[in-house]
Amino acid sequence: MANFLQVMDPMEGICIAEDTTFAFQWEAQARGHVNHHCLVDELSFKEGRPVARCRSLEVHQSQGDHFRFGDTVERPLDSFECVMMRKDPPFDMRYVFATHLLSLADTFVMNRPDSLRNANEKLYALEFPEWTPPTVVTTSIADVREFLASVGGSGVLKPLDGAGGVGVLRVDETSENLNAIVEMMTAGGCRQVVVQEYLPAIRKGGDHRILLVDGISVGGVARIPPEGDLRGNLHVGATAEKMVLSDRERAICEAIGPRLREDGLWFVGIDVIGDYMTEINVTSPTGVQEINALDGVCVEALVIDMVESQCA
């Protein structure tokens, strides 16, 4: 039996049929491990070591009555065999400071805190340029216009600190609103944005979320955007459909897997549209329950297998 701590959002807001962290908690509990819960703000440093104000957690398969907390106690992070950093974005300074506290823990943390800080989900993918679409990162309207002209006139603009599809816009070089859009997204040229070539494959096969555990692909789900929306995020209306990884997608996973392991990014979700990887999601990747339902597998078992191996 091991003690696992999940640093995450409040349990009250969890949808047990969709939430990936809940799947981890359920699997760990089924194996006899004890889950514990804390919020980001409940991490601190006292008497020379990082600690968490936390409570033991029992989970149940009944939405609305899906958890029971034990008493709140203060425990050193080193007293847990594993700490799972599962706080949903935004990736703000509260999140950054939490990773610094987690870095001080002498225990297994998933994902590794320094890599959570370093692997921006839009920029980290650019370390693998052979697998990513044409991309520019800039604060300049002129740069955006030049880039759009070079890729046929249409692109997708994203904030570097966004998540869940927030702020993702398709832009066109002929739009009369282009300058205003770039000004707004860059805060008048003070904040960088990423612009990628628009990939029409989003309309044919959707946005593929592929999960990797310890650098190895374990399944994927095709997220089909709703009519009139570019985004493949399930919570904004995209639908989940079964998919089989293509040869190109397997090659992407094999190419990035060793680097993910080296960086301690034990559980990762990449986004692939057509032939190109557009993002590497490391903060709180989702998709486990959708893949389980469509493929008849149990991805969380593979994750807990890996965690048990690391703890040993």
Instruction: Find the helix packing angle between 20-30 and 288-295, rounded to 10°.
Output: 70
Residue 175 lies in a domain: yes
Does 188 lie in the same domain as 257?
no
Residue 301 lies in a domain: yes
Residue 141 lies in a domain: yes
Question: What distances in angstroms separate CA 204 from CA 76, 109, 151, 155, 201, one per listed residue?
Answer: 50, 38, 19, 17, 5
Residues lower than pLDDT 70 in the chain: 232, 235
pLDDT 10s digits, 101-116: 999 999 999 999 999 9
d(CA 51, CA 68): 22
Report how many domains make up the chain: 3
What pLDDT sits at residue 312? 84
What pLDDT sits at residue 140? 97
Does 209 lie in the same domain as 192?
no
What pLDDT sits at residue 80? 98
* DSSP tag of 105: -
Domain that holds residue 21: 3-118
What pLDDT sits at residue 162? 75
What pLDDT sits at residue 223? 95
What CATH number is attached to the domain comprising 273?
Answer: 3.30.470.20
Does 110 lie in the same domain as 14?
yes
Question: Catalytic positions, please?
Answer: 122, 158, 209, 223, 231, 271, 279, 281
What pLDDT sits at residue 2? 97
What CATH number is attached to the domain comprising 175?
Answer: 3.30.1490.20
Residue 74 lies in a domain: yes
